[in-house]
Amino acid sequence: MDIQGNTILITGGGSGIGRALAEAFHARGNRVVIAGRRQAALDETTAANPGMASALLDIEAPSSIGEFAERLTREHPALNVVIHNAGIMRPEDIKDGATDTAEATIATNLLGPIRLNAALIGHLLAQPKATVMTVSSGLAFTPLSLTPTYCATKAAIHSYSNSLRYQLRNSNVQVMELVPPYVQTELMGEQQKNDPNAMPLDAFIAEVMRLIESQPDAHEILVERVKPLRFAEASGNFEAFFQQFNDQMARHAP
């Protein structure tokens, strides 16, 4: 992926990693369009970044995605990069028998990117050069038991990214997967944003941008902080690592 000269859609671009990525790409001269459910967050981000565009999108609602894609490509015909960043992460107690959180998480984190990708892939294939960037998580590889469906959707996104990359191997569309660690955002509330155990957001984005610039053909973007989670299975000591990781995270849970 070229780090400059693109027209980029970033879902979930009004806050957290999405906003920080949008601002980093915008600062490098790319045309950036952020999408999300909250107009106020989109307005605040674009006001702070003159020239950045925005569009409302409820990624959980399948009926809105086709119309969104049609409007987006009409208004931004040079669109050549899509970053599927929108997501939710909520604790679940499997013992209570409820599935509302699981269903909302699957709709947003997994079906949303799949549906939006399907709606935009024809346009991307028509571009001289294009990139689809999915956003999974270190928790795709070492699950956090507090958020089982979130971790499962991110594991599915990793699998989907590999299949998508293979299917598009002879096309002009590159597939990259961004794999964040635990980052200081409000994904799970104010506590996470201020948690000293989480990676500072600005440090994460700076490392991500350096990696994209230095490894433009990479399949996965892995900052150093995420590698223990990413490669736990390969270490041959996964069970012990999984237990230690979940015990540690449980001690810091609200």
| pLDDT for 253 | 65
Give 7's strand partners.
31
Alpha helices in 6-140, H assignment, sequence order: 16-27, 39-48, 62-75, 100-106, 112-125
CATH of 7-252, one of 2.40.128.20, 3.65.10.10, 3.40.50.720, 3.40.190.10: 3.40.50.720
- What pLDDT sits at residue 254? 56
DSSP percent split of the chain into helix, strand, coil, nearest 5: 50, 15, 35
Exactly one of 150, 160, 166, 182 is catalytic; name it.
Answer: 150
User: What integer pLDDT is reported at residue 106 of this predicted model?
Assistant: 98
Tally of CB atoms within 10 A around 92:
18
Give catalytic status of residue 160 as yes or no. no
Burial per residue of 3-33, b for 16 or more beta-carbon CB atoms within 10 angstroms, e otherwise: beebbbbbbbbbbbbbbbbbbbbbeeebbbb
Q: Are 107 and 148 in contact (CB under 8 A)?
A: no
Q: What is the pTM of this model?
A: 0.96
Q: Could you tell me the residue ranges of all domains in the chain?
A: 7-252
Query: Average pLDDT by consecutive 10-residue portion of the chain (254 residues)?
Result: 97 96 98 96 96 95 93 98 97 95 97 98 98 98 98 98 98 98 91 91 98 97 98 94 93 68
